[in-house]
Structure formats: structure tokens, C-alpha cells
Structure 1
Amino acid sequence: MIRIFPRGTLMPFLFACTVALGVLLPLMMMVTISLNPDEQDILVSMGSLKSFIPETVSFQNYIDVWTDPARPFFRYMMNTAIVTVATLLISITINSMAAFVVAQGSLPGNKMVLLFVVATIAVPAESLVLPQLILAGKLGLVDTYVVQILPGIANALSIFLFFQFFSRIPKDLFEAAELDGFSFFQKYRHIALPLSKPVISAVAILQFLEMWNAYLWPVMVTRGPEVRPLTVAMGAFFGTNQRIPWGDVMAFAVSMAVPVILFFLLMQRQFIASVMSSGVKG
């Protein structure tokens, strides 16, 4: 008898398919609804199989979203990109430096510093927004790119991931670099940082998702379309007493999700390498 599945692999395969369906079905529904220009038909088909299989293909909802003068989509897209990219570049630089000092530095109390940093992960971000908002108001930073970038720079999880990687780099590399006259910063710049590309990719993906989808803080510190991100603009669809235009909402959501998917596809090889190497010691 020919086995289609090797022994012991059928259940993991079925479980993986179930998880994949759980992820893909909402995306299929989102795309299908975004391609349907008939709002009445959308409401009728909600919750049925018709909401997963496109019968009508039209890009009218996308055109309406992209050309709406009340919600300048591409302005919001540019705002989101500026905040996200700036946060990523500054955050990866600062967090990797901090992790390298803790992992390879000789200052007393390094481990306690790391413990304190990791403990901040347990602090709910929502509990910090009020004091941050008061501080931003006093500094005159409200309704700027800076106020959206600063809170996302220091990231405890990123520091921990970099620390884990830097701690596993063989000491022989740094000792050889010292013999060649490398300073502490040069060891970070020329040895640790180039080796940490998989971790950089993992941190970049995690923080990209966090910043791209941020809503609570941007909605509190932005006032108009000049610096507002996509998430706040999308929330405006649900802030009126009028009927929600689900076709436009889904077209907006698909357009907002495309850069995230492209970014992940760009970084996936290094991200997978980081996940695989996290289980390897030495």
C-alpha cells in the first residue's frame, strides 16, 4: 500500500492546513468584498460563501478610495511610510547598540539592566499614553512626525533579541579584533552588526507591523491629514452615523495591507533564518 503521507505527518499537515485557512479566509473575504461595487449585494452576501468567492470584479472601490479628497489616501500612505521607516532605522541602530553593550560590555550590573529592560515588556502600552501625551504637549510636539516616532524607538523585545544573538558570537572574534586594534564601537560596527542580519530582519518585521498598524497613539497626537497615518484615516470610516461603505473599507484595508505583505516577502528569508537559528546553541 502506497502511503501518501509518511507515518505521523497526517495530523500535523491537517493542523497546518486549518491554521492556514484561518489566516487566509478573512483575507479572501476582504479582497472579494473590495472588488464588489454593489453595497447592497455586499450586505446580502455577508457571512455566506459568496463573500469569499468574487462574482463581480471591479476596481471602482479602489478608485473611490484613492481619489477621495476628504481622505487623501496617498498622503496618509506617505505619512505612515515616513514614521515607520524612520522609527525602524533609528530603533534598530539604538537597540542593537544597547544590546551589544549589555552582551559584550564590561560595565557592572549589565545583567540587571537587561532584566529591568525585559521587565518593561509586561507594562501595558496603554498605561503610558497619558503621561506621554502630557509630555508631548508641553514640548510642543503634538501633530508632528517626531511625536509618532519617538515612543517607538526604544523597544525591549528588540534589545532582548539582539542581546541573545550577540551573546552567542564567539569571544575569539572579539579577542582577535582587539589584537588588531579595534575599539569597542568598531567591534560592534564591523563584527557584530554584519553578523546580525537575521536578527535585524526579524526585528524589522516585528516593528514594521507594530508601527504600520499603530492606532491609539497616532489618533491621540495627530489632528489633520498632514501627518496622520493610514490607521487613523481608516478609523474615520466608522466615526459617522452614516452607513458604513464596506466596499470602500475593504479596498482601503487591502491597499493598506499590500506594503506589509511586500515587506515581509522581501525580508522572509532572513526572518526564517533567524527563527531557525534561535534553536541552535553555540
Structure 2
Amino acid sequence: MMAVLAPENHGLRLAVRYLVLILVAAIFVLPLLFMVMSSFKPDAQLLNDTSSLRAFLPVGDLTLENYREAFDRAPVRLFVLNSVLVTGVTVLLALIVCSLAAFAFVYMNWRGRDVVLSIILATLIVPFETIAIPLLLIVSKLPWIGLDGIETTWLNTYRVQIIPWIADGLTVFLFVQYFKDLPGELIEAARVEGASWVQIYWRVVMPLAGPVIATAAILKFLLMYNQYLWPLIVVQQEQYRPVMVGLQYFFQLDTAWGEIMAYLTMITVPVLAFYLVLQRAFIASIASQGVKG
């Protein structure tokens, strides 16, 4: 009797599992679907459709007018380019700096290592709002030597949006935890072969760190791309503003909900593209490590 009921129970559990997964997927997909569909609708129709399932369907008077008016109201291309530039450079530098720091914490013995790591991890509990004003006072008077000579402030530049965010405790922590799980025999074998620390970092450790690189990059990308408070404080010139600060253009004078949805749809494309690329890289890295193992 148990052998007969087992397949039915297994099928029921499988059906329940898929139902739960579908519901979870709907929670994440429906807001995006609402955003995209609303970007093609006039404001009056958009507001009327919110009371029914029509809000998620491509029905009614669909046009590209919201996109055209969004480009007329704000320099969308400039804001997207600024965010992609700032985010891309910050993510790249953060992966290098934080992985190097984690490598030193895990594989190199030096005095005060545990204390320094504890201090870095303690910064995770400090809200950014508590250091925003002191950091603003520092960067407003900090000199910089550039191609145009010596500048006396970092305000209204790309570097003020990049450099303060390169190193952070969470990224260092992710790399530290991952490096601790790597086989220590690999490092010992490389040292016996005469490899330097730089060679071990670049040729031994980092090729095996694909999963943590993808994870840290995604988290850092989302943090930087969604920056609002810090750019709002340190950037007053339009040519340096990122996408989230540019969103306030659509709330001036009159609130254009269709244009807002069109703007949100356009600025979401780089996020989805970045996520899909890193997801493929993450899966490929896991697969390659499994084959090598």
C-alpha cells in the first residue's frame, strides 16, 4: 500500500512546490509587468486600470508618447550613462580592492589582522546617514590633482560618487568567507613551487572565486545604481547626475505617471542586463569548477 501511495504523494508535493514557486515569481514579476504596461498608457487610462487586472495587460490606447515626453522632460541618456559609468567603475574597483584585502586577511599572517578585520566588519552596523555630513565636509575641501591642474573640491565630479564607495565591509566579508572555504593545500603547493603572493592571488585564488565575484558584483551594482541620497548631496550639476536623482524631474510642476513608468522602464534595462550576464557567468563558473573537481 505504501509503495502505491508514494508516487501520488510525490506528485502532490511536486505540485505544491511548483505552485509556491509560481506565486513567489509572480510577486517579483507583476510589479515589473505593471511598470512596462503602464509606460505605454495615458495617465487617465493608467489610473483607471489600477483597479483591475487590465493594469497588467497590453490593452487600451497604447502609444510611445510617454517615452517621447520623458526624453523631452529630462536628459535620460545622460543620466543612464552617468549611472552605468559610476556603477561599472565602482564595482570593478571594489572587486579588486576588497578581494585583495580579503586575501591578506585570510592567507597572510600579520600583527593586528583580526583586530582590523573586526573593525571593518563593525562598519556594517553604521548607517550611512550618520557619516553623510562629515564625509561631505571632507570631500568639499579635499584637493585633487587632475589633467586640468589642482582642484580644491570633489563636488560635482564622478570621483566623489565612486571613491567613497570602493571599499565596504560587506564585500570584504563575502570574499573572506569564500576564501576561507578554499582548500589550503592549493596555497601551500603554490608557495612550495615558488609562486609569489601576487601570483597566488591572480592565478590560483581568483580563478576559483567566480561565485563570490558574481554575488559581490550584483550586490554592489544594485547599491550603486540605486544611489540617491549621496549624489543628491554632492552633485548639483546636471551633467553628473545619476538616474535616481533624475527621477525628481518627473515630479516637478505636475506629476506625469506615464512618463515616470516610461523612465523607470528605461533605467531598469541596464539592471536586468547586468543581472542576466552575471547569472550566466555564475552558472558557468559553478559548472567549470564541478568539471575540474
Regarding TM over 0.5, the answer is yes
* Distance in structure 1 (CA, Å) of the matches to 2:267 and 2:120: 32
What is the number of equivalent residue pairs in this alignment?
271
Question: Which is further off, 267-276 or 83-92?
Answer: 267-276
Instruction: Pick from 8, 11, 18 the counterpart of residue 6 of structure 1.
Output: 11
Q: Give TM-score scaled by structure 1 length.
A: 0.89
Residue 265 of structure 2: aligned partner: 254
Moved more, 266-275 or 102-111: 266-275
8 Å CA contact 1:202, 1:270 repeated in 2: no
Paired position in structure 1 for 2:250:
237
Contact 1:35 1:251 in 2 (8 A): yes
Alignment-mate amino acid for residue 100 of structure 1: F
Percent identity over the alignment is: 37
Paired residues for 1:19-98 under 5 Å: 19-36=24-41, 38-55=42-59, 56-66=61-71, 68=72, 70-98=73-101
Paired residue secondary structure (1:167): helix
Higher share of residues assigned helix: 2
Structure 2, unaligned runs of 5 or more: 143-152, 288-293
Two-structure CA RMSD over aligned residues (Å): 2.1
What amino acid sits opposite 2:29 in the alignment? L
Q: Give how far 1:47 is off.
A: 3.3
Name the larger-Rg structure: 2
Taking the aligned partners of 1:126 and 1:272, their CA distance within structure 2 comes to 36
- Given that 2:210 and 2:286 are in contact with CA atoms closer than 8 Å, whether structure 1 keeps it comes out as no
- Per the alignment, in what secondary structure is the counterpart of residue 74 of structure 2? coil
Query: What TM-score do you get using the length of structure 2 for normalisation?
Result: 0.86
Equivalent runs, 1:1-282 vs 2, <5 Å: 3=8, 6-36=11-41, 38-55=42-59, 56-66=61-71, 68=72, 70-139=73-142, 140-238=153-251, 240=252, 242-271=253-282
Amino acid in structure 1 at the alignment position of 2:188: E
> Which string of whole-angstrom CA distances, capped at 9 and with x for unpartnered residues, describes residues 188-228 of structure 1?
12111111122111111111111111111011111122110
Read off the aligned partner of 2:115 and give its amino acid letter. Answer: M
Question: Distance between the aligned counterparts of 1:164 and 1:62, measured in 2?
Answer: 45
Relative distance call for 1:30 and 1:275 in structure 2 (3 A) is: farther
Aligned counterparts of 1:141 and 1:275: Cα–Cα separation in 2: 41
For 2:52 and 2:69, locate their aligned partners in 1 and report how far apart those are by CA, in whole Å: 26
1:214 aligns to what SS in structure 2? coil
Q: Cα distance 1:111–1:10, how it changes in 2: closer, same or farther (>3 A)? A: farther
C-alpha distance in 2 between matches for 1:136 and 1:109: 29
Range moving further from structure 2, 54-63 or 219-228: 54-63
SS at match of 1:99: helix
List gaps (5 residues or longer) in structure 1: 277-282
Cα pair 1:39 1:247 within 8 Å, conserved: yes
Distance 1:161 1:272, change over 3 A: farther
Offset, 1:123: 0.9
C-alpha distance in 2 between matches for 1:82 and 1:182: 35
Alignment partner, residue 280 of structure 1: none
Residues 88 and 207 in structure 1, CA contact (< 8 A), matched pair in contact too: yes
SS in 2 for 1:25: helix
Which amino acid is 2:45 matched to?
A: D
Following the alignment from structure 1 to structure 2, what is the Cα–Cα distance between the partners of residues 131 and 54?
A: 49
1:29 maps to a residue whose letter is F
- Deviation string 1:41-67 (CA, Å, 9 cap, x unpaired) is 22222332221112133222122223x
CA distance, structure 1, for counterparts of residue 92 and residue 215 of structure 2:
14
